[in-house]
Amino acid sequence: MRRTKVTHIYKKTGNLRAVQLLLGHTKMDSTVWYLGVKLEDAMAIAEAIEI
């Protein structure tokens, strides 16, 4: 259920950083692997989000 919810959040918002925080991951690589996101897509999203 955890993966399903964050996958829906990611697909609706495209906000990988928010998903990372929700999952409690310290490394973006972990979040990318968890969601099964292509690295190129993840990097494009991460670069588009200013923190």
Q: Find the Cα–Cα–Cα–Cα dihedral 4, 18, 26, 36, rounded to 10°.
A: 40
Read off the pTM.
0.67
pLDDT digits over 1-19, tens only?
678 888 889 889 988 899 9
Sign of the CA dihedral with 13 first, then 14, 18, and 20 last: positive
For 51, residues 6+ apart whose C-beta sits below 8 A from its C-beta are 17
User: What confidence tens digit (pLDDT) does each residue in 20-48 have?
Assistant: 999 999 998 898 888 887 778 778 877 88
Task: DSSP letter for 27, please.
Answer: S
Q: At what angle do helices 28-35 and 39-48 cross, to 10 degrees?
A: 130
The total of structural domains in the chain comes to 1
Q: Which residues form the domain of 33? A: 2-48
